[in-house]
Chain A
Amino acid sequence: MTPPTTLVAPVRSGAEAEDVSRAQRGDLRAFERLYRAHVARVGGLVRRMMGMEHSLDVTQDIFVRVWQKIGTFRGESAFGTWLHRVAVNVILQKRASLRTERERFLSDEIALETAPARGRTDARDFDVERAIARLPQGARTVFILHDVEGFTHEEIGVFLGVTAGTSKAQLHRARMILRDHLTR
């Protein structure tokens, strides 16, 4: 498959690497630049994973956590990639504290079954964001992490404490539910 939208990362890596190393030495202005460069994508990730309700709080928490951990970033991956991993972990912890993640991953119900059916000509039927928001949580999580964020099934398995096979099955399930919803 072709790579996801991470293709912007290498282009800005020069100035960004400088900001990372400044931030690692405690430079708040440099960290602010990193925040501004990444907040839109992180905010989108949080919103999709958690819904609007907690999205601003959790986005804040993520950048606080990144600041706390930035000393451990060793440049083995793009900074944005590392940051998104931290973000996913913060999100999952937050969600776990709201509800046991694993329980929900394994036993979620198909939200669409109970959602009102719409005619195929309703323009909103094509709204992928809305359709994603209505996915069962397990399928939604895997879909966002794999298809939007570009993580592998192995990585997702580690995040969620499930096998790569389970992640694959959830991904296909998510795509088929979306298809059903978007083309009905």
Chain B
Amino acid sequence: MTDRWTDRLSDYLDDALSTSDRRELESHIRDCGDCAAALEDLRAIVASARALAARDVERGMETDLWPEIEARLRDIPVRAVPEPVREPWPVHRLSFSMAQLAAACVAVLLLSATAVWFAHDWGRRETLARSAAGGGLITAVPATSAPAEAAQNEIASLKRVLDERRDRLDPSTLRAIEESLAAVEAAVEQARLALEADPDDPYLVAHLEEMASRQLTLLRRAVDLAGGAE
């Protein structure tokens, strides 16, 4: 279902709504499950898009283009003739408070892992499947095992603590954390759904376990940032 707010959700995510529209949308979302669900999905999509660039760096470039480029450059002199240059990016994109930086690091760390799910290549999938099958590390669906239950309990209690301490966090830090959490929770949920249909896929089992453990790590760090577990 869509309504008049559906097409404002991106503006909301990008902080491009007026204060009054933002408040109205926030109150609408409390009553409209469709918009709330769409917002969560869009948040996860934006978060995974951001993680792609970090993933490019992790993966590197498979083909070394330098020899060919160098051969072409040898025939081209560098000209220091000033040409009109477009305005640079706004400076605020490059300056961070320490808290933002910490949150961003947590986000990038976790989201690049999420991106492995969203954008994993099939070679990796096979590698994981082989190692999971050969190593015999994973013998049960984590959601039903005792350690997984303990993890679920810890996740729930960390969420409660984080919720109580929201006010201690800088709003932009909180938002970064919430975005990361949404992304990793979406990844956990998607892994769970995929596993329901294909319970014997060792990659999916390993992946769900990995995502659940990332979720836990993120929550622990978030609680740390908000003043520790006490």
Min Cβ gap A84→B in Å is: 9
Instruction: Report A19-65 residues with CB < 8 Å from chain B CB.
Output: 23-26, 28, 31-32, 35-36, 39-41, 43-44, 48, 56, 59-60, 63-64
Q: Are B57 and A40 in contact (CB under 8 A)?
A: yes
- Give the chain B neighbours of A73 by CB distance below 8 A: 85
Q: Report which residue of B59, B85, B196 has the largest number of chain A beta carbons within 10 angstroms of its beta carbon.
A: B85
Q: Which of A5, A151, A155 contacts B54 (CB 8 A)?
A: A5
Q: Are B108 and A179 in contact (CB under 8 A)?
A: no
Nearest B residue to A25 via CB reads B78
Q: Are A2 and B197 in contact (CB under 8 A)?
A: no
Q: Are B104 and A179 in contact (CB under 8 A)?
A: no
- Give the chain A neighbours of B196 by CB distance below 8 A: 121
A98, CB-defined interface residue at 8 Å? no
Interface of A is mostly: helix
Q: Are A39 and B65 in contact (CB under 8 A)?
A: yes
- Give the chain A neighbours of B38 by CB distance below 8 A: 176, 179
Min Cβ gap A44→B in Å is: 3
Q: Are A70 and B78 in contact (CB under 8 A)?
A: yes
The tally of residues in B whose CB lies under 8 Å from a CB in A reads 77
- Give the chain A neighbours of B175 by CB distance below 8 A: 1-2
B98, CB-defined interface residue at 8 Å? no
Task: Report the separation of the CA atoms of residues A178 and B76 in the bound assembly, to the nearest whole angstrom.
Answer: 43
Q: A41-B53, A60-B65, A148-B49 are known contacts. Are A71 and B94 too (CB-CB below 8 A)?
A: no
Min Cβ gap B211→A in Å is: 11
Q: Report which residue of A70, A155, A175 has the largest number of chain B beta carbons within 10 angstroms of its beta carbon.
A: A175
Q: Are B93 and A119 in contact (CB under 8 A)?
A: no
Q: A2-B107, A40-B61 are known contacts. Are A81 and B89 too (CB-CB below 8 A)?
A: yes
Q: Are B82 and A56 in contact (CB under 8 A)?
A: no
Please tell me which stretch of B9-17, B22-30, B216-224 contacts chain A, meaning at least 4 of its Cβ atoms lie within 8 angstroms of it: B9-17
**B187-200, CB under 8 A of A: which get 1 and which 0?**
00010011011100
Excluding A1-B14, A9-B94, A128-B115, 13 further A-B contacts by CB distance (< 8 Å) are A2-B104, A7-B104, A23-B78, A39-B65, A43-B61, A60-B69, A67-B73, A128-B45, A128-B49, A143-B49, A147-B49, A168-B11, A179-B42
Chain A interface residues toward B at CB < 8 A: 1-10, 23-26, 28, 31-32, 35-36, 39-41, 43-44, 48, 56, 59-60, 63-64, 67-74, 76-78, 81-82, 85, 119-123, 126-129, 132, 143, 147-152, 155, 158, 168, 171-172, 175-176, 178-179, 182-183
